[in-house]
Amino acid sequence: MDFIGTILEFFKCVGPPICQYVHRHRKLSEIMKKLERVLQELNSKKADIEATLKAECDLGNKQPRNEVNDWLENVERINREAHSIEEDVKKGKYFSRARLGKHAEEKIEEVNEYHQKGRSFTSLVIDAPPSRGLTLTTATLAGEKTKKVVERIWEDLMGDKVTKIGVWGMGGIGKTTIMKEINNRLQKETNKFNVVIWVTVSQPLDLIKLQTEIATALKQSLSENEDKVRRAGRLLGMLKAKEKFVLILDDMWEAFPLEEVGIPEPSEENGCKLVITTRSHRVCRSMKCKQVAVELLSKQEAFNLFIDGVGCSILQVPALNKEIINDVVEECGCLPLAIVTVAASMSGEEEIYEWQNALNELRGRLRSLNDVDTKVLGRLEFSYHRLKDEKLQQCFLYCALYPEDFAIPKDELIDHWIAEGFIEEVKDVRVKYNRGHTILNRLVNCCLLESAEDGSCVKMHDLIRDMALRITSESPLFMVKARERLREFPGEQEWKANLERVSLMENDFEEIPSNMSPHCDILSTLLLQCNEHLQRIPECFFVHMHGLKVLNLSRTNIEVLPSSVSDLMNLRSLLLRWCENLERVPSLAKLLALQYLDLEVTSIEEVPEGMEMLENLSHLYFSSPPLKKFPTGILPRLRNLYKLKLSFGNEALRETVEEAARLSDRLDTFEGHFSTLKDFNIYVKSTDGRGSKNYCLLLSAFGMGRFLITDLKVDKSVFLEGCKICEREEPIVLPEDVQCLDMYWVDDVASLNDVLPREQGLVNIGKFSHDLKVLSFGRCPNLKNLFSLRLLPALQNLEDLEVIECDSIEEIAAVEDEETEKELATNTIITLPRLKKLRFSNLLEFKSFCSDNGVLVCNSLQEIEVRGCPKLKRLSLSLSLLDNGQPSPPPALKVIEIKKELWESLEWDQANSKDVLNPFCKFVGF
């Protein structure tokens, strides 16, 4: 009986699992149908929540709750995992059916759980943190009259009676400079307004674009699929939600009804203000603004401004007398832009004959002109001719191909200059870039260009651009219709035989007439980028453009590139970036001069025919997600490659991974997108742990992920997204010289130590980069800490530390074992001598930087940001002591962004620390 009882007990234990196994094996199809059904219900709820979120955020200063964002992201994860189960089921492996059934049932439970959670939300949004606007770079105000204008405008803004102000005056007189000063003063000197919105209007007036730019300035968006009236209603809601605002519309050329755009009429009751700048007092009158005229400088103010520009030392040059300097200043007509531009062109000139010649040129140029506007252009044109170098002049005129008020990327501009042949005296590409940046600096120093806000772009003042276009209306001949929202392609009669450069970027035409074939044999640049409706280019269009060197079709909707491109044997730059529907490129075999080929984010699956012939290619961007085939042997033939970007999406490209690695020692920049850990490791190992001079390696389960090369903070970066990197069989291998390590949604990492090689159980930091400058973790759910104290020696160059939405992390620096614990019985001092930025955001369990007895010594800190860290007890920041024993803040510290309630609750290791740091606090809403 005991024996039978044992058997019965055995079956009681194993029976249910066996039954479950059989059930799942036989009922897999039914289980999958149920998964499909509950998933559909969950996604319907997701769509409802997203629609509600959009409506609530569009109508006011709101942002999604963190729990709502987390819910949406988890639903995306569930969809991916369910899709993976479906794919495995389709493979139809018999012995996997029960296992897949189990996974599907577990997924059904999770789907039901999240569906219920989605139905339980009582509110989806919270108030967004306050932001009054942008601080703008500006020049020094010139003259007492100008300063008085600033004070008049300020007085009207601070008062209640005047609600609309029109600042008017001739081009180049300083209207924008005045308003930039006002904008910046509003940012820091008053709480009268909730937000200050700056928009440059320019010409031609486009109300749809104006609506978009106002919404963007509010950090919100408008649907492109809605008409102007509906958009106006939504924008009206956004602006009203801001309550008191100042809207500055710079460089207006036409009046328009505010209600057509969606701008509330400013009034005493709503406390809103509108300020416009314009060249026309009639526009001020039509907009019913109080008119504020900006006048020319006095002669003494003009002289002082000129001397500031040319340098005070000019007054000490024996060969020069004050009279000739005065004469040159007088020819500038007391106009600030003309004075600054001419002064810049005369800087460093000490010979009397140079000044006499300049005076004669100015006088001769102005005598031949009639009206005021053309005289202004004549004064500016003088500075163009003073460049004296034809290549320098060509580089300057090239900038006029871009739209008015366009931020021109410096590297893109230099690429075009190189392709055009303006920088040909050297072969080395890096030297060419250096030469290009030198030219840009020269043009900025001559005040013919200005640096944009972030330093990566340059801009042209609209009057300087007008001057350049006036020059190019003769020889060289340009056709520039950029950002004119043309619906019809320019007719063949406009394509003159002597055209040298054409810019039709940012228009609205859908096609080029089927029989159009312009005879433009000397045309060298054709810019057609950002024509998002352009779908078709006729085969014959390029037949008579044999001189073409630069062809930019980026961000168009074309599906096929005409075969006539194959005969453009002088072509040096072919740019097709973000042509997402482009599936085919004709043979490139004849394009032996080609240096730049950009096929990034296209639908091209195979390398174009003849690419192995392009031995002059210096830039190749081929991160096309569907790329399936890249024949071996092509990359080694491209001996002049300087920058290379490739995506490796399947095993068929594995040999290409190795070829790319072998190129690394001679490439300036490599960007690789890897979809498997194996390919990533093959690349790193094949480079012996060190890549190109500049590299960015992206290992992502999300396709091309979040990464853009323009976002790089350092030269050598690794981005890891949604992937497993700590597998026992094949853990990740990092480059030894990595400077930036960014992990996003990597769920098998508990600490940075996990990613490093280990010897006898301890972390081996010998081969880990001591060059690491940027360390960023985002949405890594199992992250417990960033690093152990043993890793500290490798982090002495760290400059930027960021941890975002990592739910489990409690501290940054952790004690690794008991032995170390004994060693650290007294206070642990953690020194990061170069750390500049600390950012902690949405860390629900975060308590301190390091354990209770640890302190952070960091005198280089500039910015600290703490948001959404409810359990934070101490920042662990150790402050230097003054001679009197009182603590002093880090000498470079600029700001601490933190919620006021959290700041008040923090514990400090040193007395008076909070009082010392309090002046640096900028209190935020969450």
Same domain, 289 and 309: no
Same domain, 174 and 114: no
Provide the pLDDT confidence category of residue 190 given band limits of 50, 70 and 90: low
402: nearest Cα among 298, 545, 501: 501
Are 888 and 862 in contact by the 8 Å Cβ rule? The answer is no
Same domain, 284 and 314: no
What DSSP string runs through 885-913? S-EE--TT--EEEEEHHHHHH---SSTTH
Domain boundary among the residues 231, 259, 293 is at: 293
pLDDT for 280 beyond 60? yes
Examine residue 886 and state whether it is found in any structural domain, yes or no.
no
- Kindly give, in sequence order, each residue whose CB lies less than 8 Å from that of residue 543, ignoring residues fewer than 6 positions away: 517, 564, 567
pLDDT for 138 beyond 80? no
Mean pLDDT of 890-901: 90
pLDDT tens track for 681-692: 999 999 886 778
From residue 416, give the alpha-carbon distance in Å to each of 342, 345, 388, 462, 549.
28, 25, 21, 22, 9
Same domain, 318 and 429: yes
Same domain, 317 and 236: no
572: nearest Cα among 705, 454, 415: 415
pLDDT for 857 beyond 60? yes
Rounded CA-CA distance 662/805 in Å is: 38
Examine residue 63 and state whether it is found in any structural domain, yes or no.
yes
Of the candidate ranges 63-77, 278-292, 441-455, 696-710, the one whose mean pLDDT is the lowest: 696-710
- Percent of the chain residues topping a pLDDT of 70: 89
Same domain, 377 and 361: yes
Examine residue 188 and state whether it is found in any structural domain, yes or no.
yes
User: Per the structure block, which two tokens stand in for 925?
Assistant: 């809403």
Domain boundary among the residues 98, 127, 156 is at: 127
Rounded CA-CA distance 522/863 in Å is: 54
Same domain, 172 and 259: yes
User: Per the structure block, which two tokens stand in for 589?
Assistant: 């075999």
Q: What local confidence, expressed as pLDDT, does residue 547 receive?
A: 97
Of the candidate ranges 153-162, 200-209, 289-298, 596-605, the one whose mean pLDDT is the lowest: 200-209
Are 691 and 697 in contact by the 8 Å Cβ rule? The answer is yes
Residue environment code for 191-206, b if the CB has 16+ CB neighbours within 10 A, otherwise e: eebbbbbbbbbbeeee
Examine residue 29 and state whether it is found in any structural domain, yes or no.
yes
Look at 926 and 800; give whichever has higher pLDDT: 800
Q: What is the CATH number of the domain that holds 230?
A: 3.40.50.300
> Under the phi-then-psi rule, with left for phi > 0, alpha for psi from -120 to 50, and beta for the rest, what region is 671?
beta
Q: What local confidence, expressed as pLDDT, does residue 62 receive?
A: 66
Provide the pLDDT confidence category of residue 370 given band limits of 50, 70 and 90: low
Q: What local confidence, expressed as pLDDT, does residue 754 receive?
A: 84
Q: What local confidence, expressed as pLDDT, does residue 16 receive?
A: 44
From residue 512, give the alpha-carbon distance in Å to each of 479, 489, 535, 544, 859.
16, 6, 9, 15, 61
pLDDT for 911 beyond 90? no
For residue 370, the enclosing domain spans 299-446
pLDDT for 584 beyond 80? yes
Are 548 and 542 in contact by the 8 Å Cβ rule? The answer is yes
Rounded CA-CA distance 325/310 in Å is: 10
Label the pairing between strands 887-888 and 880-881. Answer: antiparallel
Provide the pLDDT confidence category of residue 278 given band limits of 50, 70 and 90: very high
Residue 350: strand, helix, or coil: coil
Examine residue 14 and state whether it is found in any structural domain, yes or no.
yes
pLDDT tens track for 96-130: 666 777 888 888 888 888 888 888 877 787 655 44
Are 271 and 239 in contact by the 8 Å Cβ rule? The answer is no
Examine residue 498 and state whether it is found in any structural domain, yes or no.
no
Are 90 and 32 in contact by the 8 Å Cβ rule? The answer is no
Mean pLDDT of 729-756: 87
Rounded CA-CA distance 794/739 in Å is: 11
Examine residue 795 and state whether it is found in any structural domain, yes or no.
no
φ, ψ at 587 (rounded to 5°): -55, 135
Provide the pLDDT confidence category of residue 471 given band limits of 50, 70 and 90: very high
Rounded CA-CA distance 730/873 in Å is: 39
pLDDT for 13 beyond 50? no
Mean pLDDT of 745-770: 73
Are 591 and 616 in contact by the 8 Å Cβ rule? The answer is no
pLDDT tens track for 563-577: 999 999 999 999 999
pLDDT for 58 beyond 60? no
Same domain, 278 and 319: no
580: nearest Cα among 626, 539, 620, 538: 626
Angle at 444 between CA 348 and CA 669, to 5 degrees: 125
Same domain, 286 and 304: no
The sheet with strand 450-451 has its strands ordered as: 408-409, 457-459, 450-451
Q: What local confidence, expressed as pLDDT, does residue 709 receive?
A: 44
Mean pLDDT of 214-234: 85
pLDDT for 677 beyond 80? yes
- Kindly give, in sequence order, each residue whose CB lies less than 8 Å from that of residue 670, ignoring residues fewer than 6 positions away: 643, 644, 645, 660, 663, 664, 691, 692, 694, 695, 696
Of the candidate ranges 96-100, 516-520, 583-587, 895-899, the one whose mean pLDDT is the lowest: 96-100
Q: Which one of 34-43, 87-96, 362-371, 586-595 scores highest in mean pLDDT?
A: 586-595
Rounded CA-CA distance 749/777 in Å is: 10
pLDDT tens track for 285-315: 999 999 999 998 899 999 999 998 888 888 8
Q: What local confidence, expressed as pLDDT, does residue 187 receive?
A: 83
pLDDT for 829 beyond 90? no
Number of independent structural domains in the chain: 3
pLDDT for 61 beyond 90? no
Q: What local confidence, expressed as pLDDT, does residue 638 receive?
A: 94
Same domain, 246 and 282: yes
Examine residue 633 and state whether it is found in any structural domain, yes or no.
no
Are 746 and 720 in contact by the 8 Å Cβ rule? The answer is yes
Same domain, 76 and 105: yes
Same domain, 308 and 428: yes
Considering the chain, what is the average pLDDT of its residues?
Answer: 85
Mean pLDDT of 206-212: 89
User: Per the structure block, which two tokens stand in for 285?
Assistant: 């009158």
Look at 868 and 26; give whichever has higher pLDDT: 868
Of the candidate ranges 313-327, 483-497, 749-763, 800-814, the one whose mean pLDDT is the lowest: 749-763
Look at 909 and 393; give whichever has higher pLDDT: 393
Domain boundary among the residues 446, 478, 494 is at: 446
- Percent of the chain residues topping a pLDDT of 90: 43
Q: What local confidence, expressed as pLDDT, does residue 798 receive?
A: 94
